[in-house]
Amino acid sequence: MSETKGTKRTKSIAFRLTDEEYAQAESAASAAGEDPNSWCRKVALIQLNEGFGLTKNDQLLYEEIARMRYMVGHGFRLLLNSKEATAAAWKKITADADQSSGIIADDLLSRRR
C-alpha cells in the first residue's frame, strides 16, 4: 500500500498508547521495515479496505452458533428422515460438530461474503 505521489493527505488521527503498547507497535513496525506512524497508517488503511475480522471472543461465539446451527439442521434431518433416528447417529453428529466447529464457522462465513 505505497503512497501515491499525487495524493495529498490533509487529515490526521492521533491516539495515545501505554509504553508497552508503543513498544509492541514499534516492534511490529520495525519488523515490517517501517516507522511506527507509517505502520499504523498502513494497518488502519488495510482494515478499511479488507473489512474487520472477528475478535477471538467473536470467533468463539460464532463457532458456537455455527455448531448449534449444524446440529439443529442435522437433528431435524434425522427426525424427518424415513429411517429410524438413533441415539448413535445423534452422538456422531454432536461429536462431528464439536471436532469441526472452526471448519463449520469458516464455511458459514465464506457463504456470507
pLDDT tens track for 53-105: 777 788 888 889 998 998 898 888 777 776 666 777 888 888 888 898 888 88
pTM of full prediction above 0.85: no
pLDDT tens track for 26-63: 999 999 999 999 999 998 888 777 666 777 788 888 88
67 and 98 in contact (C-beta within 8 Å)?
Answer: yes
Q: Would the pLDDT of 2 be above 60? A: no
Q: Would the pLDDT of 5 be above 70? A: no
